[in-house]
Amino acid sequence: MLIRMLKINKKEQSLWNLCSKIEKRTAPSKQEVWMRLEQQMDISPEPNKTSPVIISNKIKSLFPRLTVALFMMIIFAIPILKMINTVNIHSGTGLNGEIVTLSDGTQVHLNAESSISFSKDYNSSNRTIALSGEAFFDVKKGPYPFIVSTEYAKIVVLGTKFNVRSRIDGFETGVNEGLVRLEKDTEVIILGEGDQIEINPKKPNLMLQSETTNFYPGWKNHKIICNNFSLERICKELERLYAINIKFLESDQKETLISGTLHLEPNNLESVLRSISLLSKRQFKLQGEFYILL
């Protein structure tokens, strides 16, 4: 009995010795627990809160570029849309020009190297034509006023026949039939049959009123009716009508004034040049592809 107890005591003793070697840990206080939790919260990554902020900042940084891009798109889109919605008609060189009949029945007889443009909704909400060059209009009556817009002035009519010339060297309009209203800035002038107005680009605020001549407009009747026209203006018209090139040896030759009637025919260029030589006392010499005014 004593021996058995000794064996048990040895086991217990060895177990005791083993347990005595184990380090005893005391339970952490509440303060230590909270401190450890706070440390873990600081160390662990936050759940994707910064990503939306980064994306938002990128979008914000793109706002100026996007605004500029949108603005540029609008700037380029407006003329493109306008161009798509616009009809442009241009005549080449030659005595006959080109005749255009609009959807309302109005006829436009374009002189050489002239052009008109109008929107595709012409006659549905307006009857506005932009002119560069020279044209004779035979306007039919319609629900909207017929308007010819040029860089010098605007002509408004209801039904009439008239001519408009708007080139770099000046403006002119004359009435063959009916009435037209000429509008320039704040000034309004009513023109009747036989009335004519001219504007010199060197004196754009001065409008000279006169009467039309016989066979007006001359170009439509294959004539150039010169009333103190500069030689430069006449030569420019010949270049358009006959598809030729004229050069001046001296610049002051351009200001030579000529009055008279030049008869234009498809095959009479030499005769026209001789007439100009007589009126201007200047001679033409063909040199290569140019007619040189001596």
| 230 and 163 in a common domain | no
The reply to whether 284 falls in a domain is yes
Residue 253 and residue 231 in contact, taking contact as beta carbons nearer than 8 Å: yes
pLDDT digits (tens, 9 = 90+) for 119-154: 999 999 899 999 999 999 999 998 899 999 999 999
| 260 and 158 in a common domain | no
Tokens of 225: 């009716």
Is residue 203 pLDDT above 70, yes or no?
yes
Strand intervals (E) in the chain: 86-90, 98-101, 107-110, 115-119, 127-138, 146-149, 154-157, 161-167, 170-177, 180-184, 187-191, 195-200, 203-211, 223-230, 245-248, 257-263, 284-287, 290-293
The reply to whether 32 falls in a domain is no
The reply to whether 149 falls in a domain is yes
| 283 and 212 in a common domain | no
| 244 and 283 in a common domain | yes
pLDDT digits (tens, 9 = 90+) for 33-56: 566 666 665 554 555 555 555 556
| 281 and 169 in a common domain | no
- Which structural domain, as residue segments, surrounds residue 227? 222-293
pTM: 0.70
How distant, in Å, are the alpha carbons of 243, 245, 260 from that of 254? 19, 14, 17
Last residue of a domain, one of 197, 218, 239: 218
Is residue 97 pLDDT above 50, yes or no?
yes
Among candidate residues 280, 282, 262, the one with its CA nearest the CA of residue 271: 262
| 255 and 209 in a common domain | no
| 226 and 170 in a common domain | no
| 191 and 97 in a common domain | yes
Is residue 233 pLDDT above 60, yes or no?
yes
| 274 and 199 in a common domain | no
Q: How many domains does the chain have?
A: 2
